[in-house]
Chain A
Amino acid sequence: MMADDKENLRAVWDGKIPVCFTLATDEVFTAEQPEPMFLMLPRVSYLPLVTDKVNRHFIRYVDPDDHGEMWLEDEGQPLKWHNPIGVLFDMAEAESRLPWTLTVHFQRFPEDELFHCSSKEVVESYFMSMVKEADCLKHNSRIIGNMQKRDHKQLWLGLQNDKFEQFWFVNRKLMVHSEGEMFRHIPFRIHWGDRHFIQKLIKPVSADGNAVTLGDLLRETVPEILPKEDSDASSHRVIIQGCVLPPEVPLQWLSEHLSHPDNFLHICVLSA
Chain B
Amino acid sequence: MDEVKSEDDTVDKATIGDEDRNTEAVKTGEDKNNATLKTGEDKTSEVVKINKEENSDAVKMDGDKNSDAVKVDGDQTGGNADGVDASAPEAVSATEPVGSPAVQSDSPAARSDSPAARKKKAGKVDILFKATGNAPIMKKSKWSVEETKPVAAMVDFIRRYLKTDTQQSIFIYVNQSFAPSPDVALGVLFECFGSDGKLVLHYCMTQAWG
Q: Is B82 an interface residue (CB 8 A)?
A: no
- Tell whether A199 pairs with B54 under 8 Å between CB atoms, given A112-B38, A129-B178, A207-B107: no
**B:134-190 near A, CB below 8 Å:** 148, 150, 174-175, 177-185, 188
Binds B, one of A53-61, A132-140, A227-235, A245-253: A132-140
Number of chain B residues close to chain A: CB under 8 A: 39
How far does the alpha carbon of A130 sit from the alpha carbon of B111 in the complex, in Å?
25
List, in ascending order, chain B residues with CB within 8 A of A220's CB: 108, 111
B 92-123 binary contact with A (CB < 8 Å = 1; else 0): 00000000010011111001000000000000
Query: Does A129 lie within 8 Å of B192, measured CB to CB?
Result: no
Q: Is B43 an interface residue (CB 8 A)?
A: yes
List, in ascending order, chain A residues with CB within 8 A of B182's CB: 115
Distance (whole angstroms) from the CB of A5 to the closest CB of chain B: 27
B 46-57 binary contact with A (CB < 8 Å = 1; else 0): 110010011000
- Tell whether A196 pairs with B188 under 8 Å between CB atoms, given A136-B175, A220-B111: yes
Chain A residues with CB under 8 Å of chain B are 82, 111-113, 115, 125-126, 128-130, 132-133, 136-137, 141, 144-145, 185, 193-203, 207, 220, 223-224
Not counting A112-B38, A196-B185, a sample of 11 additional A-B residue pairs whose C-beta atoms are within 8 angstroms of each other reads A129-B178, A133-B178, A145-B177, A194-B46, A196-B184, A197-B184, A198-B188, A199-B192, A200-B192, A207-B108, A220-B108
- A/B interface sample: 20 pairs, CB < 8 A: A112-B39, A113-B36, A125-B210, A129-B178, A129-B179, A129-B181, A130-B178, A133-B177, A133-B180, A136-B177, A141-B175, A193-B46, A196-B47, A196-B148, A196-B188, A197-B188, A198-B47, A201-B105, A207-B107, A224-B50
